[in-house]
Chain A
Amino acid sequence: MDNLGTGLTLMLVGMVTVFAILMIVIYGSRLLIQLINRIAPEEQAPAKKESASPAAVDANAMAILEAAVAQITGGTGRIAKVTKI
């Protein structure tokens, strides 16, 4: 009987603590998110755009590419964008 008492006490304390901690984590995180939304709202966009500038290939190479595409597609294809990988 004494054991049952110990077990029930542990269950009560344990479950209440687990729920309480996770509630605190949940509401704490909500608070944290709101705070960060206010202080540092913008995620820094990765500075990647520059590499996709028109000068990805020089004019000479571009002419060759255009000629190749025109040859393969029978003049119907066109190069919209050239990106360096």
Chain B
Amino acid sequence: MEAIMDILRKLYDMTAFSNLIEDPAFLLMYLLAFVLLYLGIVKKYEPLLLIPIAFGVLIANFPGGEMGVVQADPQGFVTLPDGSREIIWDMPLHKVAHELGIMNYLYYALIKTGLLPPIIFMGVGALTDFGPMLRNLKLAIFGAAAQFGIFAVLIVSLLLGFTPQEAASLGIIGGADGPTAIFTTIKLAPHLLGPIAIAAYSYMALVPVIIPLVVKALCSKKELMINMKEQDKLYPDTMVIKNMRVVKIIFPIAVTTIVALFVPSAVPLVGMLMFGNLIKEIGADTSRLFDAASNGIMNAATIFLGLCVGATMTADAFLNVQTLGIVVGGFCAFALSIASGICMVKVWNLFSKKKINPLVGATGLSAVPMASRVCNGISTKYDPKNHVLNYCMASNIAGVIGSAVAAGVLISFLG
């Protein structure tokens, strides 16, 4: 009889039920995973990222499964299953895989090293066309104004008691650029990676809700009716691009060189973005590299990034007050970035004869190309003939460079 009870107890311990009874917090994490899966699958909120993240959350929260990421404490110590403590940086990767499971192996090899975000940026570059920005260079400046939200939220979260590193990672959500936010967080506050990635990608998915909200609060109908094409006809630009192909090929090389000279810490992001763009613009000669960067490599990187980011959200790392702060702070950063872009257009319009539609300012935060599409939707709602898409893309793409530079500044000052 005793022997049978013993076997049953062992069986009970083997399943995840024992852990669930001990720590019901896991149930909340499953719920979160299911909600995220629902948002990704049914509501189609950034499904390419949200679904891997959500599934990562799910598999990370079965304690016996060893799929949850074990965060090192500030001194770099992790607790191994046998109770001993070791410095993670001194452990060879195969030992990490053996002692802590393959998810930790992936996390420490691909994420913690900062490898995947630049790789994804390469793919983003390969899928980006800088043409609209080159045709409307002046509008690119609004991509800078819209980075204000990052720093405003940084100050507020410092006052709320976050450390400067955590505050910077929180603020960078306002850059509306997933890989940038993840890259900055890995460098500055890796223990917050999960909630920050979720907040960044969720708000990017919510761009169609957030932008109209802010635009309605700040812009009049008259401003939204400003027709950029008419303005172009009234005050034509003196610059004509005679050979777009050559410009597009030299542009990524030139931008990388300039940014690398001024903000070297932004090079992993900007450099890879521009490399991806270069192999796209060269065309037939590098078409195989372009294909790899924009398809195979990008897709594989997205899968691993999503799963690993999800796996950082174990119950004890996620369920705390900080997460709530990140969700609220991230939203403020996002809204403030949109608002500051709009405000800069308003100031510009005070002094310039050639008026600019404030929607061009609203797209200064990255979230390419969704922000531009949403803004085009708003403008055509007021005037079906008023398409601002190309103008919005100019500030939109500049916003990618802007947020990467802002991330570079934060990393070099606080890293």
The stretch from B118-126, B137-145, B311-319 touching chain A is B137-145
Contact B409 A14 (CB under 8 A): yes
Chain B: minimal CB distance from A56 (Å): 26
Contact B134 A21 (CB under 8 A): no
Of the candidates A7, A15, A19, A34, the one having the most CB atoms from chain B within 10 angstroms of its own CB is A7
Given contacts A6-B164, A7-B158, A33 and B134 within 8 Å (CB-CB) = yes
Number of interface residues of B (CB under 8 A): 45
Interface SS of A by simple majority = helix
Contact A14 B141 (CB under 8 A): no
Contact B140 A25 (CB under 8 A): yes
Q: Which of A11, A26, A44 contacts B155 (CB 8 A)?
A: A11
Q: Which of A26, A29, A30 contacts B141 (CB 8 A)?
A: A26
B7 CB–A CB distance under 8 Å: no
Chain A: minimal CB distance from B330 (Å): 17
Number of interface residues of A (CB under 8 A): 33
Chain B: minimal CB distance from A78 (Å): 37
Given contacts A33-B247, A42-B243, A21 and B410 within 8 Å (CB-CB) = no
Binary flags per residue of A6-26, CB closer than 8 Å to B gives 1, else 0: 111011011101111111111
B48 CB–A CB distance under 8 Å: no
Q: Which of B147, B155, B243 contacts A4 (CB 8 A)?
A: B155
Chain B: minimal CB distance from A27 (Å): 8
Given contacts A21-B258, A37-B240, A37-B241, A15 and B148 within 8 Å (CB-CB) = yes
Chain A: minimal CB distance from B414 (Å): 8
Contact B168 A36 (CB under 8 A): no
5 cross-chain pairs, A with B, having the tightest CB-CB distances, nearest first: A7-B155, A11-B151, A3-B158, A22-B144, A41-B242
